[in-house]
Amino acid sequence: MKYTVLGAGAMGLRYGVLLQEAGFDVDFVDTWDEQVETIRKQKGVYVSRDGQNKHLVPVNVYYPEEYKGDPDVLIVFTKQYQLADFLKRSARFFNDRQYVVTCMNGMGHVDKLNQYFPKERLLGGTALIGTVLNKAGDVDFIGPKGAGSMNIANETEKPDEMTHKIVDEFQQAGLNPNLTTNFLGTLMAKVIFNSVINTLCTMFKIRMGEYIQSPVAQKLGVQLIDEAFDVCERTGITLLNTRQEEWETVKYVSTVSNPLHFPSMYQDISKNRQTEVDYINGYIYDLGLKYHYEAKTHDFLRNLVHLAEFAGTFD
C-alpha cells in the first residue's frame, strides 16, 4: 500500500524509512521548513542506529500545501500541540477511503483526528521504542534492527480487512505490531507509563536507567500509577495491565530496554521546545476531574514542568 507520513520528525522518519526499506511506497509531509529544506538539499535523510553507521536514505518530502499524493494510509507523528494546525493544512489531500494510523504519546489526538477521519478508519497505538532527531535531516534509531514493538487497536475495536493488511505490512517493516481490541486501554497504558518516566526523567535531567536506580523511584512511580489507575477505574477504561504490572513495565524498560535513553519530553525541553506534559499528566488530571476525582500528584508534576519551562531551567 501507499503510505504518507504526516510529521517527518524522529518517529515519522523511523516508521516511514522502515516501511520504505521493506519495499512500500512512502512519502513524507512536514511543516518545519528547516527539516523540509535540509532533506531536499542533502537529497535524503541521514539515518544512524545508536550513533553508528550514519548513511543517507533518499526520501520524498513535501509541504502540505504542495502535496499531490493519494495514499491509502496516513501515519501521523506530530507533537500533540502541533496536530490541529498540521491537519488543517493537510486536509486538502484527505479522502473518504484513507485510513489513519497514529502512535503519538499522550491523549488529545484522537478527538482531533476524528474531525477528519471516522472511527471506522482510525487505528491508534503506542510506539515502544526511542528515536532521536539529532538535527534537521539527521535521525538516530535507538536499538538494533528489529528492536522495539508497538501496540495497535482500531477505534471501533473491530479489526477489518484493511487493519490486517496494515498490521501485516508493519510486520514486514520490522515494527513488530501487536493488534489489540482494547482501544482506550492500549493508549492509556502508555500515557500512564510516560506520566512516570517521561516527566520524572525530564524534571531531573536523567536517563531512564538513572531514575530506576534511585531508592525513591518505586515510591514516586507507584504513587503516579495508583492515581492514574484510580482515574481509569472511575471512567470505565479497562487497562491492559494491573497496577503492579504497569510498575514492572516501567522497571523493565528503564533497566533492560532503554536505560541509556532520555525520554522524548527531555529532548523537547532541552531544545527549548514545548513539552507534551498537558497531554500526559495533564490529561490524567483533567480526565479525573470529569469524574469528580483529583489526581493531584499529576497536576503538581504538570505544573512543575511548566515552572521549569518558565524559569528556563534547561537553557
174: left (phi over 0), alpha (psi -120 to 50) or beta: left
In order, the DSSP letters of 131-165 are EEEEETTEEEE-SSTT--EEEEEETTS---HHHHH
User: How many angstroms separate the Cα of 206 from the Cα of each of 59, 210, 259?
Assistant: 34, 6, 10
180 versus 264: smaller Cβ distance to ligand NAD: 264
Of 32, 92, 36, 88, the residue nearest 59 (C-alpha): 36
Contact call for residue 195 and ligand NAD (CB under 6 A)? no
Angle at 196 between CA 193 and CA 202, to 5 degrees: 120
Number of neighbouring beta carbons within 10 Å of residue 256? 10
Stretch that binds ligand NAD, among 19-27, 38-46, 101-109, 170-178 (CB under 6 A): 101-109
106 versus 219: smaller Cβ distance to ligand NAD: 106
Cβ-contact 38, 108 below 8 angstroms: no
Contact call for residue 105 and ligand NAD (CB under 6 A)? yes
State the binding string over 120-159 for ligand NAD (x if CB under 6 A, else -): -------x--xx-x--------------------------
Stretch that binds ligand NAD, among 9-17, 112-120, 281-289, 291-299 (CB under 6 A): 9-17
Contact call for residue 269 and ligand NAD (CB under 6 A)? no
Nearest residue relative to ligand NAD (C-beta): 9
- Angle between helices 243-252 and 183-203 in degrees, nearest 10: 50
The distance of closest approach from Cβ of residue 115 to ligand NAD in the complex, given in angstroms and rounded to an integer, is 18
As given in the structure block, the three cell numbers for residue 277 are 506534559
* DSSP bridge pairs for 28: 5, 61
Contact call for residue 302 and ligand NAD (CB under 6 A)? no
121 versus 261: smaller Cβ distance to ligand NAD: 261
71 versus 291: smaller Cβ distance to ligand NAD: 71
As given in the structure block, the three cell numbers for residue 85 are 494546525
The distance of closest approach from Cβ of residue 127 to ligand NAD in the complex, given in angstroms and rounded to an integer, is 4
Q: What backbone torsions phi and psi does residue 143 show, to the nearest 5 degrees?
A: 95, 155
The distance of closest approach from Cβ of residue 125 to ligand NAD in the complex, given in angstroms and rounded to an integer, is 10
The distance of closest approach from Cβ of residue 216 to ligand NAD in the complex, given in angstroms and rounded to an integer, is 25
The distance of closest approach from Cβ of residue 292 to ligand NAD in the complex, given in angstroms and rounded to an integer, is 29
Contact call for residue 180 and ligand NAD (CB under 6 A)? no
Cβ-contact 105, 198 below 8 angstroms: yes
Contact call for residue 32 and ligand NAD (CB under 6 A)? yes
Contact call for residue 271 and ligand NAD (CB under 6 A)? yes
H or E element: which one contains 76?
strand 73-76
By CB under 6 A, name the one of 60, 264, 275, 281 that touches ligand NAD: 264
Site residues for ligand NAD per CB under 6 A = 7-12, 30-32, 35, 77-80, 82, 104-106, 127, 130-131, 133, 264, 271, 273, 276
